[in-house]
């Protein structure tokens, strides 16, 4: 039997055909100990009901996806975004999630002010932490691949995320997703800089050599070019012993498949890397 005691399933991996209640049941059925659910799926099932099912199935929550999306064109928009993040922190507390994952947001519509958006992100995370810390919720800044800089996240490297952590202090850390950071020549050094205390999450999937879509064409571990074992080694060298969360957006392939087939494959491939 492969050791899956550190495996977690990000529910986006099987969201193509399945509802959250079906996903939770399937994850438990396969003996996988943890999930990372998305807020829209939670809203559909209901927060209390989601928490109850997760508890009844004995699952852990490796992270809540997601907070962030801070930058706005005006103060009102920013405050409204921050407010939504406070609700996300409440949900993370209710679900006893290891962290609240932050996809920080891209440029506001029509804006070219990258420095301004980055400054809003820093301010937003600082304000959110003031709210989240008393709830016992740790924030995990997820640097997103630079190809998402315009529309999803203006934080694009581990170094940049850690600069924000340095500036804000407290328990804020990073979510290291191999898909977003595998190309970074500075990755090993930045993982060491993060250290165990700030490595709040480790996400796995693969980068397909021929990638057909910027968002929805991630690969299953082993099908692409990322040396996942190497990155995992760097993370573990820091003492990271949290979950390996499998997160695959794959509209044309994995999202079309049967959930048992997907989860079986994740278990096999997780072992191999």
**Least Å distance between CB 270 and a second copy?**
17
**Least Å distance between CB 226 and a second copy?**
7
Piece of the chain touching a second copy by CB under 8 A; list 122-130, 131-139, 170-178, 183-191? 183-191
CA distance 223 to 155: 27
Q: Counting contacts by CB under 8 A, is residue 218 touching a second copy?
A: no
**Least Å distance between CB 22 and a second copy?**
32
Q: Counting contacts by CB under 8 A, is residue 191 touching a second copy?
A: no
**Least Å distance between CB 45 and a second copy?**
31
The residue among 1 and 210 lying less far from a second copy, judged by its C-beta, is: 210
Applying the rule CB under 8 A, the residues between 197 and 216 that interact with a second copy are: 207-211, 214
The residue among 75 and 209 lying less far from a second copy, judged by its C-beta, is: 209
Applying the rule CB under 8 A, the residues between 224 and 243 that interact with a second copy are: 224-227
The residue among 33 and 146 lying less far from a second copy, judged by its C-beta, is: 146
Using CB under 8 A, pick the residue from 15, 51, 86, 111 that binds a second copy.
111
The residue among 40 and 227 lying less far from a second copy, judged by its C-beta, is: 227
Q: Counting contacts by CB under 8 A, is residue 127 touching a second copy?
A: no
Piece of the chain touching a second copy by CB under 8 A; list 7-15, 30-38, 51-59, 104-112? 104-112
Strand order in the sheet with 34-36: 60-61, 34-36, 7-10, 244-246, 199-204, 173-177, 139-141, 100-103, 64-68
Piece of the chain touching a second copy by CB under 8 A; list 88-96, 113-121, 134-142, 237-245? 113-121
199, β-bridge pairs? 174
List of residues 6+ apart from 94 with CB closer than 8 A: 47, 48, 51
Applying the rule CB under 8 A, the residues between 141 and 180 that interact with a second copy are: 145-147, 149-151, 154, 156-157, 160
User: Which residues of the chain form contacts with a second copy (CB under 8 A)?
Assistant: 107, 109, 111-114, 118, 145-147, 149-151, 154, 156-157, 160, 182-185, 207-211, 214, 224-227
């Amino acid at each position: 039997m492969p050791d899956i005691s550190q495996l977690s399933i990000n529910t986006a991996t099987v969201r193509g055909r399945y509802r959250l209640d079906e996903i939770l049941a399937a994850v438990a059925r396969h003996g996988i100990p943890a999930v990372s659910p998305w807020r829209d799926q939670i809203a559909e099932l209901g927060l209390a009901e989601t928490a109850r099912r997760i508890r009844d199935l004995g699952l852990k929550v490796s992270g809540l996806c997601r907070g962030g999306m801070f930058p706005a064109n005006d103060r009102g928009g920013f405050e409204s975004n921050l407010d939504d993040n406070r609700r996300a922190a409440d949900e993370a507390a209710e679900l006893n999630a290891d962290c609240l994952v932050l996809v920080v947001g891209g440029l506001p519509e029509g804006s070219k002010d990258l420095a301004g958006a980055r400054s809003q992100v820093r301010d937003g995370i600082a304000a959110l932490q003031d709210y989240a810390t008393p709830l016992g919720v740790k924030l995990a800044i997820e640097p997103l691949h630079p190809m998402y800089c315009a529309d999803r996240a203006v934080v694009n490297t581990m170094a940049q995320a850690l600069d924000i952590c340095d500036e804000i202090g407290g328990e804020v850390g990073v979510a290291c997703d191999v898909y977003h950071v595998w190309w970074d020549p500075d990755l090993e050094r930045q993982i060491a800089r993060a250290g165990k205390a700030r490595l709040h999450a480790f996400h796995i999937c693969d980068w397909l050599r021929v990638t057909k879509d910027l968002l929805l064409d991630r690969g299953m571990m082993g099908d692409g070019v990322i040396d996942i074992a190497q990155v995992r080694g760097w993370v573990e060298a820091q003492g990271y012993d949290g979950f390996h969360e499998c997160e695959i957006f794959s509209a044309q392939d994995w999202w079309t498949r049967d959930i048992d087939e997907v989860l079986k494959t994740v278990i096999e491939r997780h072992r191999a890397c």
